[in-house]
Chains A and B, each alone.
Chain A
Amino acid sequence: MPVLALTNTMRCFTQLCVLVAAMIVNGSVNHAHGTDIKRQHAHIAVASNFIKPMTLLAQDFENKSGHTLTISYASSGKIYAQIIHGAPFDVFLSADQEKPKQLAEKQLIHSNFHITYAIGKLVLWSNTVGHESPIERLQSNQYSKLALANPKFAPYGQAAVAVLDKLAIKEKSRPKWVLGESISQAYQFVASGNAEIGFIAKSQLPKQGAFSTIDQTLHPAIRQDAVLLKRAMNNKSAMAFFEYLQSNDAKKIIQSFDYDTE
């Protein structure tokens, strides 16, 4: 037994040595070819409401192109703040048009690489199924809290307020508003039952509950823009991804999450 235990230990030790050696060699190789590897790699900053489609897009892109991506998710406002303070992002998929526009004004992007990659759809959702549809509940004032994304900076929130304005219930409903910092939080408020109805993105719509589709003529289009940062002009991976984003393959994936594309 002791001998067996000893040989086992030794085997483990040998394996460990091999592993460490491999890591060291690998590391030095990576280091030596660092510049080459860098060119095959892009850092993408993505608005957090686009996590699900982006995961599929990245997989599909990496499989087809051989390029690799690092993806950071945050709210568009935070990514914007990080970019103007020198964050190392190559491509930025914003949840709105405002931040890309401001980056353009600051001349941090190339005007040829500025596209609308998705157009969001707004729905009014309730976690419970009642006699009336969510939009009827809204109009007949049969709710105590209405969840929406903060219209001060979230495009879905601005669209929701435009809808309330068109329906002439903006001021009447205002005391019942609860604002999420993002459309995901508006969703959370309704999902946890703390608000009876809420404006969410159609891309988030779960199977349970009831929803009313909002006529897209009632609000300005929720256009989500992507830009290529100037620092990425020589980055093949970033360029390839930006091109891929406009391909039919990418559009199909984006549409499968209930967004429109151009």
Chain B
Amino acid sequence: MFLSDSDIDAIILTLKLASTVTFILLLLCTPLAYWLARTQSWLKAPVSALVAMPLILPPTVIGFYLLIAMGPNGPIGELSQSLGIGLLPFSFWGLVLGSLFYSLPFVVQPIQNAIEAIGTKPIEAAATLHSTPLSTFIYIVLPLAKPGFLSAAVLGFAHTVGEFGIVLMIGGNIPKETKVVSIQIYDNVEALNYTGAHTLSAVMLIFSLLVLLSLYTLQQQSKSAIFSVGR
């Protein structure tokens, strides 16, 4: 079992994509999840529904719409062209954008659940002690919801690594730019190079197992933590 140079390129690219996407998603999803966890607004249901959409939509549907939206006549394409970035399909940042949609619920939901689990008591208690909302967030919410953030990061990362349908649609199969591991495996299968496909698939299999193992270990540890401190 040896990995070829293009296998290694694909692995590096995949890790780069997944870390970029996870980083951006954590930044974007934290305020969103906080709002969703605390709001009483009627907007909560529609926003939650929008966030959860990628869970049910087939990735090819998301990819197909992205290809059109990011094209020269699509809204995203017109925006990116007027900003001087050019067109996003077939580029690393196009994949990043697609993955942001695709992995969004996997990051929002664990954080939202963790914040909801804290309940209102610790936050109200902090308020009576004249804590500003920001310091309440930094000193109360963040530490208590830490397991949720960790789950979100692991899930967002892993889900992006496993992405296939969208990349197939908007990637264009460019080495070191959009040719991620799942595409490399697909190419090998289509080209009847089953040995190559086996090697990379085994790597993916072990990776997924390790990720899930760490996730469940994490959850087991955190359960007691939330209940003992939060409630």
Query: Is there an interface contact between B87 and A194, defined as CB atoms closer than 8 Å?
Result: yes
The A interface, classified by DSSP as helix, strand, loop or mixed, is mixed
Q: Which of B65-73, B141-149, B206-214 contacts A (4 or more CB under 8 A)?
A: B65-73
Contact B90 A181 (CB under 8 A): no
Q: Is B168 among interface residues, defined by CB-CB distance under 8 A?
A: yes
Question: Which residues of chain B have C-beta atoms less than 8 A from A145's C-beta?
Answer: 90, 172
Give Cα distance in the complex from A81 to B68, angstroms: 32
Asked if B83 is at the interface of the complex by the 8 Å CB criterion, the answer is no
Q: A145-B90, A179-B173, A181-B173 are in contact. Are A77 and B72 (CB under 8 A)?
A: no
Among B9-17, B98-106, B182-190, the stretch in contact with A? B182-190
A209 within 8 Å of B by Cβ?
A: no
Given contacts A192-B71, A193-B72, contact A150 B90 (CB under 8 A): no
Shortest Cβ distance from A36 into chain B, in angstroms? 38
Name the residue on A nearest B88 (C-beta): A194
Shortest CB-to-CB span from A92 to chain B, Å, is: 14
- Give the residues in chain B near A99, CB-CB below 8 Å: 192
Bound CA span A185–B77, Å: 19
B residues in contact with A195, CB < 8 Å: 90
Is the pair A194, B186 in contact by a Cβ cutoff of 8 Å?
no
A185 surroundings in chain B (CB, below 8 A)? 168-169
| CB of B205 within 8 Å of the partner chain | no
B90 pairs with A178, CB closer than 8 A: yes
Identify A77's interface contact among B67, B169, B192, CB under 8 A.
B192
Report if A48 contacts B (CB, 8 A). Answer: no
Task: Report Cα–Cα, A179/B184, bound state, in Å.
Answer: 12
Q: Mark A100-136, 1 if CB is under 8 A from B, else 0.
A: 0010000000000000000000000000000000000
Chain A 77-111, CB-CB to B under 8 Å as 1, else 0, gives 11011000000000000000011001000000000
Given A192-B67, A193-B71, A194-B67, A178 contacting B192 (CB threshold 8 A): no
Cβ–Cβ contact A77 & B70, under 8 A: no
Interface flag for A188 (CB, 8 Å): yes
Checking B71, B168, B173, B189 against A178 with a beta-carbon cut-off of 8 angstroms, the contacting residue is B173
Contact partner of B187 among A78, A98, A150, CB < 8 A?
A150
Say whether B192 contacts A181, CB under 8 Å: no
Q: State whether A153 touches B192 (Cβ < 8 A).
A: yes
- The distance in angstroms between the C-alpha atoms of A154 and B4, with both chains bound, is 21
B window 63-120: CB within 8 A of A: 67-68, 70-73, 77, 87, 89-90
Please tell me if A152 contacts chain B, counting CB pairs below 8 Å: yes
Q: Encode contact with A along B43-76: 1 for CB under 8 Å, 0 otherwise.
A: 0000000000000000000000001101111000
The 8 closest A-B pairs by CB, nearest first: A178-B172, A77-B190, A179-B173, A153-B191, A153-B190, A193-B72, A192-B71, A193-B71
Chain A residues engaging chain B, CB cutoff 8 angstroms: 75, 77-78, 80-81, 98-99, 102, 145, 147, 150, 152-154, 177-181, 185, 188-189, 192-195
Residues on B lying within 8 angstroms of A by beta carbon are 67-68, 70-73, 77, 87, 89-90, 168-169, 172-174, 186-187, 189-192, 194
Interface CB pairs A-B, < 8 A, 20? A75-B190, A78-B190, A80-B192, A81-B189, A147-B172, A150-B187, A152-B191, A153-B187, A153-B190, A153-B192, A178-B172, A178-B174, A179-B174, A180-B172, A181-B173, A185-B169, A188-B67, A192-B68, A192-B89, A194-B89
* Besides the known contacts A99-B192, A193-B72, 5 further A-B residue pairs in the complex with CB atoms under 8 A apart: A81-B192, A81-B194, A152-B190, A178-B89, A194-B67
